[in-house]
Amino acid sequence: MAKKGFNSNNNQKEEVEKVKVTKESLKEALVLFKYIKPYQGKFIFGLVFIALSAISTLAFPVLLGKMIDAATPIISSPVELTPLNPIQKQIGFDLKNIHLSLNTILILIFVQLALQTLFSFMRIYLFTEVGEKSLADMRKDLYSKLLTMPMSFYTEQRVGELSSRISSDLSQIQDAISLTLAELLRGIFTLAVGLTVIFLISTKLALTMLGVVPIIAVLAVFFGMRIRKMSRKAQDQLAESGTIVNETFQGIAIVKAFSSEANEIKRYTKSIYSVVDTAISNARYRGAFVSFMIFSVFGTIAFVMWVGANMIKSGTLSIGDLTMFVIISGFVGGTFAGFADMFSQFQKTLGATQRVREILREEGEDVHLVETPIDEKYKINGEVTFKNVAFAYPGRLDVTVLKNINLTASKGQQIALVGSSGAGKSTIANLLLQFYKATEGIIYYDGKNVNEIPLSQLRKQLAYVPQDVMLFGGTLYENIAYGNPNASEKEVIEAAKKANAFDFVMNFPEKMQTIVGERGIKLSGGQRQRIAIARAILKNPAILILDEATSALDSESESLVQEALDNLMQNRTTFVIAHRLSTIRKANKIIVIDKGTVTEQGTHDDLIKLSGGIYKKLVELQLDTAELI
């Protein structure tokens, strides 16, 4: 189920950043616009203010031109009356016939600036609000969707890539809504109004300008694409050289042991000089592009000014008209140039949208996304039955991990799962928690088919204490209360006491409010285990699953943790994945798993008597190892 959008290869990452603008990709993007719907009123007002902002912006050069004409009546007066062009006829007036005094124009300019200030503020504010709120809704939905995904999904994806979907991809979409879309619409309005005004000023000058600008724009886009491609190549090569540095320093012992310093220097030198070659080649393109743009832009301005000057000389254009034409042409040209970058951002947004939609379309688990109590009809006491259960992981269906598993556990029994590494013990724990569904056979809880019990209802009644405890980066209190967010402070403290965690917690200066650090890094292994046990105690589960919680601890910590586990296992069904066999002698039933099948089951005393039995050999092997130590 490898997804294109989740590709983490550095060399391919840029390939998925942008996608071609097609009917399908646009359809994907429009689906996400449903998040704007709750804020459509403000979005529409934002569009109105964008249009007003574009119009008021172009009113400024028009007023400046009229101010120049008002200051130069002698030069402006010879302008001949020319027939109205089609645009002037349609609108019904000619800019050249508008005459205002200097004082009136100054007042109008300040009115225009005041309105421009208001329009700009409102469009930025409204589109930002719509973008941020839409983004928050998208983040919530995507995060919720990811939380509902089954374990098989997480085994095939990198956590960093999934985090990127929530951060960078959604930020790209948010930028598109609040910035790119706003600028695109503003550009379209500016272009439409600007072209209309320059044709009103002079059709001849407008056609002259439009005959040159599109050619420059096309060449600029071509050069820009080539430069961006070369820049990406340089970035990839630089990343590759960085990888060499990381690998070398991480494996410095191997480098020195094999006396490979010279070889690593040669490898790194080759990498960095490939970056140099690409950068120099890119510099040629950038230099040619800058030179071309300087020549083209200033050449175009000079040519348009030359045509305009001749029109002034012939009396068909005023100085003010030429001034407003040049300024508005600058707005139009700048808008043309901005469309290339906007199109590039639009392609990135389409790419981000596709990757987000891939996740939203995935089929997740049917779990509750709001806190709900345990329904009485789904309440379980702790009886578990595996009937002819077989299982193969989704990513490798050709490898059967469990075969025809049959086992039973009565309420309050301690069931130990024993076997060599890879035998299938952890897989049974995964099936108990319904991280995966059995390929064949059925699991029953109190006689109920597990498929008939809602996942959230089932998991609320199970607790899992792994060997490698995961604590969240908050306080000790928050980590214990994770087992039951509705628990009172008294219940949290009682759980800590039963888990033998209360004493060491009270020794911290901030006690229960002590920050544990990322993944509980500020705590020792034994302390983390006891916090995890306190969390499980607070949950008060009907069924407990322990992945040997003491195997990696020293003797003192093991004693404290084992005592806490004894408290936790009282009066509840417990499945213990056992690595250290000395901890399961008192188990009600020991189940030996070998190559995915149940080969032996019984008490310790029963199994130790089996001549040639797997359990007996494992016990003898651990006893021999202990004697050697």
Q: What is the pLDDT of residues 590-623, one digit of tens each?
A: 888 888 888 888 888 888 888 778 888 887 776 6
Residue 344 has pLDDT above 80, yes or no: no
* Residue 621 one-letter amino acid: L
Architecture of the 376-461+541-628 domain: 3-Layer(aba) Sandwich (3.40)
> Which residue(s) pair with 465 in the sheet?
546
Q: How far apart are CA 9 and CA 234, in angstroms?
A: 16
Higher per-residue confidence, 3 vs 580:
580
Q: Which tens digit of pLDDT belongs to each residue from 463-522? A: 888 877 778 778 888 888 888 888 888 888 888 888 888 888 888 888 888 887 666 666
**Per-residue model confidence (pLDDT) at position 163:** 72
Q: Report strand pairing: 543-547 vs 573-577.
A: parallel
Task: For residue range 14-23, list pLDDT tens digits in order.
Answer: 334 555 556 6
What three-state secondary structure class fits 576?
strand
Contact predicate 150/364, CB 8 Å = yes
Token pair 């959230």 is found at 456
- DSSP assignment letter at 81: P
Confidence class of residue 80 from pLDDT cuts 50, 70 and 90?
Answer: very low
Task: Return the structure tokens found at 627.
Answer: 């004697």
Query: Distance from first CA to last CA of the chain, Å, rounded?
Result: 47
Percent of the chain residues topping a pLDDT of 70: 80
Confidence (pTM):
0.67
**For residue 573, what is the enclosing H or E element?**
strand 573-577
Summarize pLDDT for 105-139 with one digit per residue, the tens: 888 889 988 998 998 898 888 888 888 888 888 88
Q: Is the pLDDT of residue 48 over 80?
A: yes
Same fold, 22-202+344-365 and 376-461+541-628: no
HEC per residue, 351-393: HHHHHHHHHHHCCCCCCCCCCCCCCHHHCCCCCEEEEEEEECC
Is residue 602 within a helix (H) or strand (E), and if so which, with residue range? strand 597-602
CB atoms < 10 A from the CB of 118, how many? 14
Give pLDDT, residue 270.
Answer: 82
Question: Do 607 and 592 meet the contact criterion of CB atoms below 8 Å apart?
Answer: yes
Residue from 148, 157, 145 nearest 2 by CA: 157
Per-residue pLDDT, 19: 53
Do the beta carbons of residue 107 and residue 333 sit within 8 Å? no
- Mean of pLDDT values over 351-359: 73
Residue 392 neighbours by CB under 8 Å, 6+ apart: 398, 399, 400, 401, 439
Enter the tokens of residue 336: 């043309």
| Cα separation, 7 vs 282, whole angstroms | 27
Q: What is the pLDDT of residue 74?
A: 46
Helix (H) or strand (E) holding 179: none
> Token pair of 461, please?
């009644």
Q: How far apart are CA 396 and CA 309, in angstroms?
A: 78
Cβ neighbours, 10 Å, residue 406: 13
In DSSP notation, 119-177 reads HHHHHHHHHHHHHHHHHHHHHHHHHHHHHHS-HHHHHSS-HHHHHHIIIIIHHHHHHII
pLDDT at 550 over 70: no
The pair of structure tokens assigned to 31 is 């689906």
> In angstroms, rounded to a whole number, what is the distance separating the alpha carbons of residues 231 and 344?
15
CATH code for 22-202+344-365?
A: 1.20.1560.10
Highest mean predicted confidence (pLDDT) among 72-86, 258-272, 327-341: 258-272
Please give the Cα distance from 387 to 80 (Å, whole number).
100
Q: What's the whole-number mean pLDDT along residues 131-151?
A: 82
- Please tell me the predicted confidence (pLDDT) of residue 24: 64
- Exposure string over 46-70, b if 16+ CB within 10 A, otherwise e: bbebbbbbbbbbbbbbbbbbbbbbb
Residue 402 DSSP SS3: strand
d(CA 597, CA 400): 10
Mean pLDDT to the nearest integer, 238-254: 77
**Do residues 123 and 53 make contact, with C-beta atoms less than 8 angstroms apart?**
yes
Domain locations in the chain? 22-202+344-365, 203-315, 376-461+541-628, 472-532
pLDDT value for 318: 79
pLDDT at 576: 87
CB 56 within 8 A of CB 193: no
3-state secondary structure of 552: coil
Residue 482 belongs to what H/E stretch?
A: none
Average pLDDT, the chain: 77
Please say whether the beta carbons of 178 and 131 come within 8 A.
yes
Q: Which helix (H) or strand (E) holds 193?
A: helix 181-201
Token pair, residue 8, equals: 């983490």
Nearest Cα neighbor of 477 from 466, 467, 488 is: 488
